[in-house]
Amino acid sequence: MHTNQAVLVVGGAGYVGSHMVLTLQRAGYFPVVLDNLSKGHRHTLKNVECVVGEMSDTELLNQLFTKYQFNAVMHFASFIEVSESIQFPLRYYQNNVAATMNLLDVMLQHQVKHFIFSSSAAVYGQPNVALIDETCAIAPINPYGRSKCMVEAMLHDIAAVEPLQFASLRYFNAAGADPEGQLSECHEPESHLIPLVLQAARGERSHITIFGDDYLTEDGTCIRDYVHVMDICHAHLLALDALVKGRKKMIYNLGTGRGHSVMQVIKTARRITGAAIPFVIGSPRVGDPAILVADASLAMAELNWVIKYKALDDMIAHALKAMKVRGVTLEVEN
């Protein structure tokens, strides 16, 4: 147990962040959340202090770092919509880069040196390889991906001269939810495939639009590496342990090494829910690569990361369970 080790979870009210808070609590840490609630939901957080504010607010950060002796900072507060990043690049650079710079500055002034950053497969752009490992060229194709690269570059430069120790974890497609149904995936508006498919299964939307069926894949639809959110959170715990033991910097892909097409996701969800899930074929989404699958063997070898929920079935079943629980919670709250 890591009793009373305080961890600042920035963006802890969001999808991955709230699962991280739960994971930290279950592992005996003491998480404290900073979230501006622009995307996150306070009702997801139980028995944890949630400070509502911006990571660009230096005064607020100073207060927080003075109040708590944080052992580490975990950063989940980036904006994540590719199309929005193309439309509003400044918003993305302000939040994802400038505000992160401020967080790092204050954190280091308070002698907190362990930092874990949620990076993304988007740093690789559209690589032409079957399995993407960390040696693949960094070649982002949109402001979202570039904002992640900028933070990674910043981390390297700062760590070269400051006591900063960091892990940058490049998620592929985070999916699923807490298997015990305590939390859910909830984006507003929803844009992610699995929750959209499940909304269609539950009759909350009439159909799903498949963004292109003419890709060079077996069934023509895009292939992604869906990785369970609890496995992602577990990797953060391992990365934190490694930092505490002295590792200076780490960059790891987090994925399962297995890809599933959009069509396979729909078919799996049909089997699990028994619902029809109607779909229509729409145009491809700008900047969507045909295939993105991780080689995450480095995280497995160096962090001893073992994936617990590799099956797409589990991710979809857990997401469905969380949606049912959330439905009940929202009815009670109303």
**208 φ, ψ (degrees, to nearest 5):** -120, 145
217: contact with ligand UDP by CB under 6 A: no
Looking at the Cβ atoms of 30 and 279, the one nearer to ligand UDP is: 279
- The residues with which 173 forms a beta bridge, in sequence order, are 226
Site string for ligand UDP, 149-178 (x = CB under 6 A): ------------------------x-----
* Residue from 58, 182, 209, 217 binding ligand UDP (CB under 6 A): 209
Can you give 231-279 as a three-state secondary structure string? HHHHHHHHHHHHHHCCCCEEEEEECCCCCEEHHHHHHHHHHHHCCCCCE
Kindly indicate which of the ranges 46-54, 189-197, 239-247, 323-331 contains the residues binding ligand UDP, using the contact rule CB under 6 A.
189-197
Report how far residue 70's alpha carbon sits from residue 64's, in angstroms, rounded to the nearest whole number. 9
Q: Cβ(42)–Cβ(50) under 8 Å?
A: yes
Q: How many residues bind ligand UDP (CB under 6 A)?
A: 14
* Residue from 77, 208, 229, 240 binding ligand UDP (CB under 6 A): 208
Q: State the minimum distance, in angstroms, from the CB of residue 257 to ligand UDP.
A: 16
* Residue from 192, 202, 249, 267 binding ligand UDP (CB under 6 A): 192
222: contact with ligand UDP by CB under 6 A: yes
Report how far residue 118's alpha carbon sits from residue 252's, in angstroms, rounded to the nearest whole number. 10
Catalytic residue among 92, 124, 144, 309: 144
Q: State the minimum distance, in angstroms, from the CB of residue 208 to ligand UDP.
A: 6
Residue 124 designated active-site: no
224: contact with ligand UDP by CB under 6 A: yes
* Residue from 49, 84, 133, 288 binding ligand UDP (CB under 6 A): 288
Dig out the tokens for 209 from the structure. 């639009």
Question: DSSP state, 172?
Answer: S
* Torsion over CA: 201, 204, 184, 175 (sign): positive
207: contact with ligand UDP by CB under 6 A: no
Report how far residue 319's alpha carbon sits from residue 315's, in angstroms, rounded to the nearest whole number. 6
* Residue from 56, 58, 94, 191 binding ligand UDP (CB under 6 A): 191
Looking at the Cβ atoms of 111 and 126, the one nearer to ligand UDP is: 126
Report how far residue 97's alpha carbon sits from residue 145's, in angstroms, rounded to the nearest whole number. 11
Q: State the minimum distance, in angstroms, from the CB of residue 210 to ligand UDP.
A: 4
Looking at the Cβ atoms of 117 and 144, the one nearer to ligand UDP is: 144
Q: Cβ(248)–Cβ(259) under 8 Å?
A: no
Q: Cβ(79)–Cβ(85) under 8 Å?
A: yes
Q: State the minimum distance, in angstroms, from the CB of residue 212 to ligand UDP.
A: 7
Q: At what angle do helices 143-161 and 99-109 cross, to 10 degrees?
A: 20
Report the run of H or E that residue 38 belongs to, with start and end: none
Report the residue number whose CB is nearest to ligand UDP: 222
Q: State the minimum distance, in angstroms, from the CB of residue 274 to ligand UDP.
A: 21
Report how far residue 155's alpha carbon sits from residue 63's, in angstroms, rounded to the nearest whole number. 24
Looking at the Cβ atoms of 72 and 316, the one nearer to ligand UDP is: 316
Q: Which residues are known to be catalytic?
A: 144
Residues that bind ligand UDP (CB under 6 A): 173, 191-193, 196, 208-211, 222, 224, 262, 285, 288
